């Protein structure tokens, strides 16, 4: 597992669009498996689940993304999973870390 949590500044919808583009353009096998969006009052929440093939692990890796805006603040949580083939211990997380890295430059532009 690899994880990125941070507070961002900017337009919620622009950040979501840019991060989605970074994921899908960062890997030829990346797909959006499902999406959900919620709004109540001044709070917005977007959840995305992406998958891609990891050649290093010979399997599929997921990236779960949550973007939340509330009270004028925006938070992002991105978590990858599925890159290890080990039964009891995670020996190799290269695929997960590589998938997360597809959004790091884009997210960095919006970091506080």
pLDDT in tens, 39-95: 999 999 999 999 999 876 678 899 999 999 999 999 999 999 986 666 555 556 778
Place of tokens 């532009």: 109
Tokens, residue 72: 């004028």
Encode 94-111: b = buried (16+ Cβ within 10 Å), e = exposed: ebbebbbebbeebbeebe
Q: Radius of gyration (Cα) for the chain, nearest Å? A: 14
pLDDT at 59: 81
% residues pLDDT > 90 (the chain):
76
Is the predicted pLDDT of residue 10 greater than 60, yes or no?
yes
pLDDT at 96: 87
Domain regions of the chain by residue span: 2-70+78-110
């Amino acid at each position: 597992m690899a994880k990125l949590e941070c507070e961002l500044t900017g337009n919620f919808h622009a950040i979501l669009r840019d991060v989605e583009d970074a994921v899908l353009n960062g890997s030829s096998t990346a797909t959006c498996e499902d999406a959900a969006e919620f709004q109540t009052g001044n709070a917005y929440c977007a959840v995305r689940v992406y998958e891609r093939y990891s050649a290093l692990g010979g399997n599929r890796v997921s990236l779960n993304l949550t973007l939340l805006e509330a009270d004028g603040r925006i938070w992002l949580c991105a978590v990858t999973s599925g890159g290890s083939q080990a039964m009891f211990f995670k020996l190799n997380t290269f695929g997960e870390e590589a998938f997360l890295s597809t959004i790091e430059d884009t997210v960095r532009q919006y970091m506080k």
